[in-house]
Amino acid sequence: MIEKKTTINCRGKIIDFSKAVVMGILNITPDSFYDGNAYNNKEKVHKRIQQIVNEGALIVDIGAYSSRPGAAHISEYEELNRLSPALEVVAKFFPNLVVSVDTFRSGVARHVVNNYGVSIINDISAGGLDNKMFETVSKLNIPYIMMHMRGTPNNMQDFTSYNDLIPEIIDYFAEKIYRLKNIGQKDIIIDPGFGFSKKLDQNYELLKRLKEFNIFELPILAGISRKSMIYKRLNISPEEALNGTSVLNTIALLNGANILRVHDVKEAVQAVKLVETTFQ
């Protein structure tokens, strides 16, 4: 029987994934697919973080670079310029909150950890867009979330051809985990990348076979919230995709997800509680 690693050390705070946890999304971007430009000043950021905390999320994930297809490319300077006000709010009003920053740039990672005490780096490219990222997170000694993606956010949907989807994603993670462990990275979380370099039906195959990633004995993050795999399948808008998100989050939990990355924290926390009540 595979025994997963169930804890990570976030700058001296232990997070236990033996029960699934919820990560609330805070997008500091003008062009995200669902909530772009919704949190463009400190007051709105404070209100959103307070909501995330009040509704029961254990982690807040802050991102300033939109990864939706076709989103505008921004410089590292602009990314940090967007992140800094939000991280100042966290430092002032939520000093004990576990904060993840969603970035693929090692320079951004280093800056936010050293200057704002960020606890986790969440990299959509798993080091593929910055060859210094692995070394950086290892030296920073913080947990690292790495996602499966081919190409870049702008062209990732040109790379959806697989001979065998799940084994190829497993091979992708196996190589990167080997490299990270060789340089001393202690805490790794894997994200199979729903919606990234995958066609609609491939996302459902991935969800159906999520348990196969337990082979790595590492925590698994599922980021399904309001994505096109829901609203395109149901012929609805992202704004109408909350019910579908809750359904798929529940399936992800049943198939081994340890972290749900979501826009709607309250509903995700409820899903976690109901699954736990039923099966534990």
Known catalytic residues are 227, 261
E strand spans, 104-163: 120-123, 144-147
Distances in Å between the Cα of 244 and the Cα atoms of 75, 112, 118, 195 are 34, 34, 31, 15
Neighbours of 256 (CB within 10 A): 17
How far, in Å, CA of 279 to CA of 113, rounded? 37
Neighbours of 107 (CB within 10 A): 16
How far, in Å, CA of 156 to CA of 242, rounded? 25
Q: Are the C-beta atoms of residues 2 and 214 closer than 8 Å to each other?
A: yes
Q: Per DSSP, what are the bridge partners of residue 144?
A: 121, 188
DSSP for 162-231 reads -SSHHHHHHHHHHHHHHHHHHTT---EEEE--TTSS--HHHHHHHHHTGGGGGGG-S-BEE--TT-HHHH
Neighbours of 144 (CB within 10 A): 26
How far, in Å, CA of 260 to CA of 280, rounded? 18
Burial of 280 (0-12, 13-18, 19+ CB in 10 A): exposed
Structure tokens at 243: 């019910």
